[in-house]
Amino acid sequence: MAFMPVSAEDMKARGISQLDFVYIIGDAYVDHPSFGAAIISRVLEDRGYTVGIISQPDWKTADSVLRLGKPRLAWLVTAGNIDSMVAHYTVAKRRRQDDAYSPGGKNGRRPDRAATVYCRMCRKAAPEIPILCGGLEVSLRRFAHYDYWSDSVMPSVLADCGADLLMFGMGERSTVEVADRLNAGEDISTIRDVRGTCYMCDTSQTPLGAAQCPSFEEVSRSKEMYARACRIQYDQQDEVYGKTVIQRHGDKMLVQNPPALSLNTQELDHVYSLPYERAYHPMYESEGGVPSIEEVRFSITHNRGCFGFCNFCSIALHQGRKVTVRSEDSVIAEAKKLTHMPDFKGYIHDVGGPTANFRGPSCEKQLKYGLCKGKKCLAPEPCANLCADHSEYLHMLRRLRELPGVKKVFIRSGIRYDYLLEDKSGEFLNELIEHHISGQLKVAPEHCSAAVLDKMGKPHIEAYRKFQKRFYEITRQKGKEQYLVPYLMSSHPGSELKDAVELALFLKENGIRPEQVQDFYPTPGTISTCMFYTGLDPYTMKEVYVARSGEEKAMQRALLQYYKPENRRRIIDALCRAGRRDLIGSGSGKLVQPDREYAAQLQRRGAKSDGKGSRKTGGKKRRRQV
């Protein structure tokens, strides 16, 4: 085994005079199957192609992409495992100090909108060489999209970056097909029929029979048109019935071909059997390594896709809703490799994926007809056709626990407790508590208000209450001291101040004191981001309340940490505005101790009590500040 070439010396040692592909990546180079660039480079190598890696090139010098020479077939470009803007900025748009995907965990090693910058560098350095871009950043920006950081609607990333093809979703099939056709001498301009790819063309070359979104110009002017475009994009994101989707950008047409077909079990097994080094490149050792490897070094991915389909999650538009899995034997083989690694201490950190306990399709119908358009398998209630079965996953976990050298197998990926509850056998929950957690299990109810959960695409809180009750019953029966740690989100579209108060009361009732609370982060391409920008639900076209002012967001966040003394004045302010002064005081039914001087000041200022926070107090000027 060996890392891909990263220098001219590496090429010379392998007898390579010109690489077939040069891969420009925004992350540090980590050769592990949790990193998209590692998978694509190994898949191409397995196909017989040579691939060189240029990690985090100096974006101020276009020639920095030429240090391995010009590629024979194409440039490959990705911003990395996560969106570069999310990597750089908090939800408050403050610059982050750290970056787990960069050497030493230090920020500043890649530009904002990295994929666009890198593509432009490649075009300037060698305009005759085709450019293929992929990864999460471009996948979620492939249509005209709302950009939170500039507070504007931006065109498709293809219109800005100048790449020839954009690979969206999981790119193994599309990348190999394009590589083979380029290698056969086909011109990049004629490769326009590959599933899982997008391209720009003259409007006169628009394919027939496509689903047409409102144009970039229309969605820039009209929020209603933006919401309608969002629904069309999601409705066609199915590999069974999804059509070609088009969106006009001036005198050009963006064309998205139907999604690529998911890899089957045998194909996934092969991808994960390739000779990954499972480590960061040694060139980073002097800088302290690459922190992101620590979470996944001893973790195993057993599935892809997620039929949970939460509105704020990017998986549906990227990996897709269809769940595909590796075989048990493939997972066991990878676990055996882990046990022979020199720093393995006996602990497998995770056996999961987007949702750990999905081990097959949600129902048999979807295999032939696709996943139901505009509906969710689990929310607001589980579908009557849902097939909830953990038997295969459980059998695999039992085999892993029996491996020599394995002391403990953890599950740290997300668990869908609503799906788990539909499995009437109860075996999985029992063994999860007995064997696969250590002290804490992280779950994601996100909120408790039915109105907010409906906008999130999540089940109602009754499912969490039922799971919580059962979890603690079994935990006590087994004589263990283990706890649920709920993920919670403030200021999601649909959440008014009164909903945040409701959530604070729920947390106090259940003795939950969250150390961290995540404000809703409007990342490109999601349904929730569409609601945030337009104030409309794209599936009903009804208005959705959106907390826009920094002041109200701070209030909603403070309410979720009701127990912190430093939040007292902000909580009192929020309760007054929400018309819930009855919750200020001493006693079990109250939320916060009174601060009489501050409360008197609020009364003198005449704080609004409309229950919707800054809808009436923010004003037009404040709404424009987002």
Residue 603, pLDDT score: 66
DSSP-derived letter for residue 211 is: E
> Which CATH number applies to 8-197: 3.90.25.10, 3.40.50.300, 3.90.1150.10, 3.40.50.2300?
3.40.50.2300
- Alpha-carbon gap, residue 358 to 392, rounded angstroms: 10
Q: Taking residues 2-13, what's their average pLDDT?
A: 97
- Give the Cα-Cα-Cα angle 240, 243, 249 (nearest 5 degrees): 150
Residue 517, pLDDT score: 87
Kindly indicate whether the domain formed by 298-438 is annotated with CATH number 3.40.800.20.
no
278 exposure class (CB count in 10 Å sphere: 0-12, 13-18, 19+) = buried
Beta bridge partners of 536: 543
Query: Which pLDDT tens digit goes with each residue over 297-341?
Result: 999 999 999 999 999 999 999 999 999 999 999 999 999 999 999
Q: Spell out the alpha helix ranges (H) of 460-612.
A: 461-477, 497-509, 527-534, 550-560, 568-577, 596-605
Among 227-231, 406-410, 617-621, name the one with the lowest average pLDDT. Answer: 617-621
Residue 621, pLDDT score: 32
pLDDT at 612 over 60: no
- For the chain, which residues make up each domain, given as ranges? 8-197, 298-438
pLDDT at 618 over 50: no
Beta bridge partners of 484: 441
pLDDT at 33 over 70: yes
Residue 598, pLDDT score: 62
Residue 588, pLDDT score: 83
pLDDT at 233 over 80: yes
Residue 620, pLDDT score: 33
- Alpha-carbon gap, residue 54 to 77, rounded angstroms: 10
pLDDT at 492 over 50: yes
DSSP, collapsed to helix, strand or coil, labels residue 132 as strand
Residue 593, pLDDT score: 87
How far CA 395 is from CA of 399, 400, 424, 613, in Å, comes to: 6, 9, 17, 50
Query: Which pLDDT tens digit goes with each residue over 493-543?
Result: 999 999 999 999 999 999 999 988 899 999 999 999 999 999 999 999 999
Higher pLDDT, 149 or 605: 149
Residues in the chain: 626
Residue 9, pLDDT score: 97
pLDDT band at 1 (very low <50, low <70, confident <90, very high): low
Give Cβ neighbours of residue 513 (< 8 Å, ≥ 6 apart): 507, 561, 563
pLDDT band at 88 (very low <50, low <70, confident <90, very high): very high
Distance of CA 325 to the CA centre of its chain: 19
Q: Which amino acid is at 494?
A: G
pLDDT at 197 over 50: yes
pLDDT at 192 over 60: yes
Q: Please tell me the pTM assigned to this model.
A: 0.93
pLDDT band at 587 (very low <50, low <70, confident <90, very high): confident
Residue 613, pLDDT score: 45
Query: Which pLDDT tens digit goes with each residue over 124-149?
Result: 999 999 999 999 999 999 999 999 99
Q: Is the separation of the CB atoms in 561 and 512 below 8 Å?
A: no
Higher pLDDT, 625 or 29: 29
